[in-house]
Structure 1
């Protein structure tokens, strides 16, 4: 997919690309006296409703933050439970995602992921590659700084190999080496759970994104709330550094 050359060219009616930091699963579970993994399972079920809501809202691209490079610091029990959840989710949802015409891709560093999970990810990407519905991107073992570092290494190698001249490197060059190189930049970034930080998510890509920090915990997030946020986005005056004349 071609990337937008100028963010000001995007439609003013609603976001084409929505990115979501799905936060609050653990707190949602603990408030109910349940283990944190119970909340992660509830959050995984919420993804389907949000994906299904996107076409009617004009959202062509949806990117969700499933597991960050920093999440390895959690307890071994929680990390192992999350990896098991990812495997089960992909195996269970592959047929349904394909039937709905969803095109799925994963971003992030796969080095630390287990072989079975990587196999499932590859299969899901391959089976849905030609679909033309919602483009669902799942950030798994992803960190914005890590992504930029990996991209910079690849760019530096191309310079060393003579494939790229240093003087030709500009702001249009690095995005071609990012995990998201085939995606347009996000228009709207949503973070649930009341936290007001971006947590190393899509650092380069979100330079001109609008942000919504909402109190709703992710397992309680609904298609109606997504619709409300998309309407709010459409009402914003987005000048991208310019002024109205």
Structure 2
């Protein structure tokens, strides 16, 4: 089983999991938190260095107010209850996404999670909260434009590397594999820049059902992939060269 350095997950299907059991969407989100605890523990156990979880997108604010309120309540509860455990497990917490307009107590909790765990050296847990990849890219280019306008940066100094370092996720390696649960097969505005060479694995189970067995199946599938990063197999090059040399 091949272990990726960075695993990213679109945690999808809480509501449908609940609906299939005649439960409320809130019950589904609560069970989703249980799955979050499990994947953090399992990722640490397997030696994954970075785990990014798509917790709340910038588009999710358009959901019914009652559901948004419940989600914010679960976030508050998760940080208050689980932060000490994460810290004890040597997990470093990072939050990516826009922080403009967030409620003061939510912002304070996110900052507390980052500050408390900033020196930890185990798994880095990246929580994508109020996150949208298009907004991330827009914010990045807007900031680079300001640097150019101020004379601190020349246009021809803008490189892929500089853009990557200037994103919300600057300093974090790109994900090796992106998983989406629930059977949907789209990125939904998640890590669009960073996913350029990521492997995608789409699984049919809903997020609350995603356990160690499901994670291991994902890693087995990931291990089957041939990551060429735009290049070709060395054997293919050698076969072609031999064919040319032999006049074939």
Q: TM-score by structure 1 length?
A: 0.93
Equivalent of 1:58 in 35, 39, 47: 47
- Residue of structure 1 equivalent to 2:190: 201
- Structure 1: any 5+ residue segments left out of the alignment? 1-11
Equivalent residue of 1:172, what SS?
helix
| Contact 1:191–1:212 (Cα < 8 Å) also in 2 | yes
Moved segments of 4+, more than 4 Å? none
| Contact 1:57–1:230 (Cα < 8 Å) also in 2 | no
1:22-101 matched pairs, under 5 angstroms: 22-101=11-90
Equivalent of 2:108 in 110, 116, 119: 119
Distance across 2 between alignment mates of 1:161 and 1:29: 52
1:129-208 matched pairs, under 5 angstroms: 129-208=118-197
| Contact 1:68–1:141 (Cα < 8 Å) also in 2 | yes
Equivalent residue of 1:106, what SS?
strand
The superposition leaves residues 33-85 of structure 1 with CA deviations (integer Å, 9 ceiling, x where unpaired) of 11111100100111111011113323110000000011111101101111111
> Larger deviation: 97-106 or 154-163?
154-163
Q: Which of the pair has more CA radius of gyration?
A: 2
Distance across 1 between alignment mates of 2:155 and 2:125: 34
> Larger deviation: 169-178 or 58-67?
169-178
- Residue of structure 1 equivalent to 2:240: none
Number of residue pairs the alignment of both structures matches: 234
Q: Displacement of 1:231 after TM fit?
A: 2.2
Distance across 2 between alignment mates of 1:117 and 1:15: 31
Cα root mean square deviation, aligned: 1.1
Q: Displacement of 1:240 after TM fit?
A: 1.1
- Residue of structure 2 equivalent to 1:8: none
Q: Displacement of 1:221 after TM fit?
A: 0.4
- Residue of structure 2 equivalent to 1:7: none
| Contact 1:110–1:141 (Cα < 8 Å) also in 2 | yes
Equivalent of 1:103 in 92, 102, 110: 92
- Structure 2: any 5+ residue segments left out of the alignment? 235-248
The superposition leaves residues 93-128 of structure 1 with CA deviations (integer Å, 9 ceiling, x where unpaired) of 110000000000100011132100111111111000
| Contact 1:195–1:213 (Cα < 8 Å) also in 2 | yes
Distance across 2 between alignment mates of 1:176 and 1:204: 11
Query: Whose helix proportion is higher, 1 or 2?
Result: 2
Alignment of 1:240 onto 2:229: yes
